[in-house]
Amino acid sequence: MQLNPWGSESIKDYDKLTHEFGMQRMPDLGIDNHYFRRGIIFGHRDFDKFWKDFKAKKPVSILTGIMPSGPMHFGHKMVVDQCVFYQNQGIKTRVLVADVEARTTRGTTKEDAERYALEEYLPNWIALGLDPKKSVIYAQSNYGVPYYSFYSLLSGRTTLNEMQAVYGELSPGKIMSAMVQMGDILHPQLPDYDGPSRVLVPVGADQDPHIRLARDLAEKEHLVKPAATFHRFATGIGGSKMSSSKPNSYISLNDPIEVAVKKALNALTGGCNTAAEQKETGGKIEECVVYELYAYHFMPDDKELTEIYRKCTSGEMLCGECKRILREKVEKFMKAHAAKREKAKKQVEKMGVFR
Ligand code: TRP
Ligand code: SF4
């Protein structure tokens, strides 16, 4: 098994993954957030240490990055929601636009990367609750000199062999973007920024190779090893991974309401061939993308979600009725979100992320 941070494969067996890569299973720390409560964040490295440091009021921060190589979809939303959660706890938050990575590994043009960032990503982050005044938001292509000299020097602390063992097949572009990401994850600990401190990186499970290399480099540089949490991938509308390279797989946060609703209503369900059968056996909820949309995005209230679970698995409710609820939820969310995003666009203009 090899994790490919630049691929778009989906992961089927999260137990096997945690086991093979020596990740830790996320224990129940009683954290009141649906990504934790529902096991959507399934694995971690040193999250327990991070949380302990935070509770003990030691210096901690979080950092994550998103590639502006296509529309921002509900898979990306998961990581932003988590950043908002930490920020609301009072934890210092950094979110970066991985435009160097988009350009070196996906061939995204400078114009497209900036347009996606300024028109889609940043306004959506703010609309989801990220407070730009309390966050460091930067683009990889336009940041501080200590960060640039640091990541180029880090390249001398690893070898091609080590990188191949972690990443598999490499190209100069992938090596570059991996080193930039090392700079992202480790630079908060430089004297020019926060100094030595525990940095938590919330990411999708495919990013673990980067986390492993960053932890190894931290040790060599006598820094605190960064912590990470790993969340499950968002399942695409048709059942494979939600990916910006497959337009039919995702719902974009920028989709017009009717488009988002239409895509949501097309999602794969766990319904049976006939109504009679489903009333008898109940829905196959573990295969149902509609249920995942509720669990990840549209039903943060556990009571409401549990009721869906009960009605589905008992056969009391069929998919048609269930999708009527989904339609309402998606409409309501998209409408409110679009209004917040339009307001946020004005804020983004003043931020000067690329200049
Ligand atoms: N590689 C990440 C992605 O594919 C983006 C990214 C860049 C990132 N730098 C980071 C993620 C630092 C976490 C931390 O989306
Ligand atoms: Fe999915 Fe709802 Fe159908 Fe159950 S009833 S399988 S949750 S769409």
List the chain pLDDT tens, one digit each, 355 residues.
677 887 767 777 888 888 888 899 999 999 999 999 999 999 999 999 999 999 999 999 999 999 999 999 999 999 999 999 999 999 999 999 999 999 999 999 999 999 999 999 999 999 999 999 999 999 999 999 999 999 999 999 999 999 999 999 999 999 999 999 999 999 999 999 999 999 999 999 999 999 999 999 999 999 999 999 999 999 999 998 898 888 889 999 999 999 999 999 999 999 999 999 999 999 999 999 999 999 999 999 999 999 999 999 999 999 999 999 999 999 999 999 999 999 999 999 899 999 8
Q: Is 289 a pocket residue for ligand 2 (Cβ < 6 Å)?
A: no
Q: Is 5 a pocket residue for ligand 2 (Cβ < 6 Å)?
A: no
Ligand 2 atom with least separation from CA of 313: 4
Q: Which residues contact 61 (CB under 8 A, 6 or more apart)?
A: 91, 92, 93, 94, 188, 194, 197, 198, 199, 200
Contacts 24+ apart (CB under 8 A), 51-58: 53/198, 54/89, 54/91, 54/198, 58/197, 58/198
Q: Whose CA is nearest to atom 8 of ligand 2?
A: 319
Tokens of 303: 């009571």
Q: Is 270 a pocket residue for ligand 2 (Cβ < 6 Å)?
A: yes
- Residue 1 has a pLDDT of 66
Cα 7 to the chain's mean position, in Å? 15
pLDDT in tens, 31-42: 999 999 999 999
> Could you tell me the domains of the chain?
14-233 (3.40.50.620), 247-342 (1.10.240.10)
Q: Which residue type is seen at 42?
A: F
- Residue 17 has a pLDDT of 86
Mind giving me the DSSP string for 244-269? TT-TTT--BTTS-HHHHHHHHHTS--
Pocket test for ligand 1, best of 45, 64, 213 (most atoms within 8 A of CB): 64
- Residue 22 has a pLDDT of 85
State pTM to two decimals: 0.96
The sign of the CA dihedral 289, 98, 137, 208 is positive
Comparing C-alpha atoms, which of 180, 195, 76 is closest to residue 138? 180
143 three-state secondary structure: coil
- Residue 191 has a pLDDT of 97
Alpha-carbon gap, residue 166 to 215, rounded angstroms = 12
Q: Is 75 a pocket residue for ligand 1 (Cβ < 6 Å)?
A: no
Helices (H), the chain: 14-20, 34-37, 47-55, 74-88, 99-105, 110-115, 122-127, 145-154, 160-167, 172-186, 208-220, 257-265, 275-281, 289-293, 302-314, 319-351
Q: Is 84 a pocket residue for ligand 1 (Cβ < 6 Å)?
A: no
Comparing C-alpha atoms, which of 74, 73, 66 is closest to residue 40? 74
- What angle separates helix 208-220 from helix 172-186, to the nearest 10 degrees? 60
Phi, psi of 17 (to 5 degrees): -60, -50
The sign of the CA dihedral 100, 104, 106, 107 is positive
> How far apart are the two ends of the chain, measured CA to CA in Å?
41
Q: Which residue type is seen at 148?
A: Y
Phi, psi of 183 (to 5 degrees): -60, -40
Q: Whose CA is nearest to atom 8 of ligand 1?
A: 65
Contacts 24+ apart (CB under 8 A), 165-169: 166/209, 166/212, 166/213, 167/4, 167/5, 167/209, 168/2, 168/4
For ligand 2, the distance from its centroid to the CA atom of residue 290, given in whole angstroms, is 6
Sheet with 24-25, strands from edge to edge, namely 24-25, 41-45, 227-231, 198-204, 60-66, 92-97, 135-139
Q: Whose CA is nearest to atom 7 of ligand 2?
A: 291
pLDDT in tens, 104-152: 999 999 999 999 999 999 999 999 999 999 999 999 999 999 999 999 9
- Residue 176 has a pLDDT of 95
Alpha-carbon gap, residue 186 to 148, rounded angstroms = 12
